[in-house]
Amino acid sequence: MNDEKITVRVTTTGQTLDVVVLSKRADMIEIVLGEGIHSVRCRLTPTRTGAAYVGNAMGREIVYERGRDQVNADLERVNVAVPKFKRR
């Protein structure tokens, strides 16, 4: 199993964390902080300007510092690599 990981920053402390991505779309990124029974899910949504993705986990603000355009480019690159099946 190949989990995608991204680096997010906690705004209050400036600490960076590597987190696992559950789902990734242009309008939302869902991540998991931690491991095992103490893991926390967090939903990151784009800011009004689209310059970053922001979310809250346990009262802390978390920022993924990539814009909506960059995430769209990542998704398109992944979708090109996956073969598309056509129905008959």
66's CB contacts (< 8 A; 6+ apart) are 52, 53
According to the model, what pLDDT value does residue 88 have?
73
Q: CA geometry: angle at 80 spanning 78 and 82, to 5°? A: 75
According to the model, what pLDDT value does residue 82 have?
66
User: For each of the chain's 88 residues, which pLDDT tens digit applies?
Assistant: 568 999 999 999 999 999 999 999 989 999 999 888 999 999 999 999 999 999 999 999 999 999 999 999 988 888 776 666 777 7
How many angstroms separate the CA atoms of 36 and 47, rounded? Answer: 30
According to the model, what pLDDT value does residue 19 have?
95
Q: What is the pTM of this model?
A: 0.84
